[in-house]
Amino acid sequence: GQQLNQSPQSMFIQEGEDVSMNCTSSSIFNTWLWYKQDPGEGPVLLIALYKAGELTSNGRLTAQFGITRKDSFLNISASIPSDVGIYFCAGSSSNTGKLIFGQGTTLQVKP
Amino acid sequence: NAGVTQTPKFQVLKTGQSMTLQCAQDMNHEYMSWYRQDPGMGLRLIHYSVGAGITDQGEVPNGYNVSRSTTEDFPLRLLSAAPSQTSVYFCASSLLAGENTGELFFGEGSRLTVL
């Protein structure tokens, strides 16, 4: 079945540093999305990407849909303590209705 | 709007017991789904529905049943609980099946422990 490999598994950074995480797939996706989960809550959508090569920003967050349709990355610039949480990539193939998630990247930010 | 509401938030079961996790959304979303979250494994899709009367299996459907009799509700049934079903369960919905399916709204989760 479809699988997403997300890396790194965890990150511990200093406040103000930039962060980069990525996701690769064994198959092609038509949609890539990035979610953030705060402790004790459900994931919340950060960025949605619908076209290969698309680069989209949301404040300090930037994400790209890889040209091969098999990968995506998320960058966070100038990290702050409230960026702490688990970040998930997710992909969807058209006409299936299924959204597959990566294993998550746990981000910790030291003030 | 309440968004996606899950009940109960916490539940402890004994092996072999059955129960239903409730999920309701008030956003008139066509697409609804159930995920389970386990440490180091991300979110895995259990079942999903693209509209009332239509359901389909996800990655890990065994041991779970669903139904979609109304647009608003999508209950998840555990037929005979096993310790391997100890997990946090999330219900999620989105406005349209197809292109925007991935823009999911999640509930707060239901934490299930099976002894």
pLDDT digits 0-9 by tens, B26-66: 999 988 999 999 988 889 999 999 889 999 999 899 999 99
**Cα–Cα dist A34/A47, whole Å:** 5
Distance from CA of A101 to the nearest CA of B (A): 6
Residue B40 at interface with chain A, using a CB cutoff of 8 Å:
yes
Question: Which residue from A minimizes the CA distance to B104?
Answer: A45
Nearest residue to A68 (alpha-carbon basis) of A22, A19, A108: A22
Question: Which residue from A minimizes the CA distance to B46?
Answer: A98
pLDDT in tens, A37-63: 998 899 999 999 989 999 999 999 999
DSSP code at position A60: T
